[in-house]
Structure 1
């Protein structure tokens, strides 16, 4: 059963699909999907992460060069009981793309 969902804006001029294709393997229980427009068009590509009972995340300005960092984020997020990632340094540039974290 998939518990965690990483959604990538699929309408960002093909860049969303390129990012999704570059991410590679994700941990068990994490699904990656292309989503309809997330309405953050000023910062393409937009990425959201959510799971029941966990904080949700929204990133903007993410590109294929951030694919490895996104996979690292997925691993850390899946392993965090409440979804809160205390040390974002392993995410490299992706940590500066964070628009917001929404408490569970």
Structure 2
């Protein structure tokens, strides 16, 4: 039986470095999946890594998002597949245990302290009871 993983890392697959045709997001997805699988702890069971066509971070490729239900979402930019894998895996470990996903920049590993493009608070949707008037 396939279990849904509670956390997701999403990588932009359309980002390109200025003047180049390669799309480093695909390389980053492969490297991140391998690094998480090799981490030897629970993050391999807790995180799904996938790609998406665009996250509007075109000026700061590669862009990577961490998100989960009822947790803050993070968007990081300027991620280099060959350089930043350890920081991404370390942040996965950290993010997994944060009950609301919230942490300050000084607590994030390495380059992720300064490459944060956005931190979006968790969304809690409240539905109000409404009366439906019959016409």
TM-score, L = length of structure 2: 0.70
Aligned residues of 1:76 and 1:85 also touching (Cα < 8 A): no
CA RMSD in angstroms comes to: 1.6
Once the two structures are superposed, what CA deviation does each residue of 1:14-39 show, in whole Å capped at 9, x if it has no partner? 21111222221250211110111112
Alignment equivalent of 1:42, drawn from 47, 59, 81: 59
Q: Distance in 2 between matches of 1:43 and 1:2?
A: 28
Aligned residues of 2:105 and 2:113 also touching (Cα < 8 A): no
- State the shift of 1:86 in Å: 4.2
The SS at the match of 1:25 is helix
Alignment equivalent of 1:32, drawn from 49, 59, 76: 49
Q: Distance in 1 between matches of 2:54 and 2:105?
A: 29
The SS at the match of 2:11 is strand
Once the two structures are superposed, what CA deviation does each residue of 1:36-80 show, in whole Å capped at 9, x if it has no partner? 111211111011111110001011111111111101111110111
The SS at the match of 1:53 is coil
Aligned to 1:71: 89
Of stretches 57-66 and 9-18 in structure 1, the one that deviates more from structure 2 is: 9-18
Count matched residues: 104
The SS at the match of 1:42 is coil
Q: Where does structure 1 lack aligned partners over 5 or more consecutive residues?
A: none
TM-score, L = length of structure 1: 0.89
**Which structure is larger by alpha-carbon Rg, 1 or 2?**
2
Q: Distance in 1 between matches of 2:72 and 2:108?
A: 19
The list of structure 1 runs, each at least 4 consecutive aligned residues, that deviate by more than 2 angstroms after superposition, is 85-90
Q: Distance in 1 between matches of 2:79 and 2:24?
A: 9
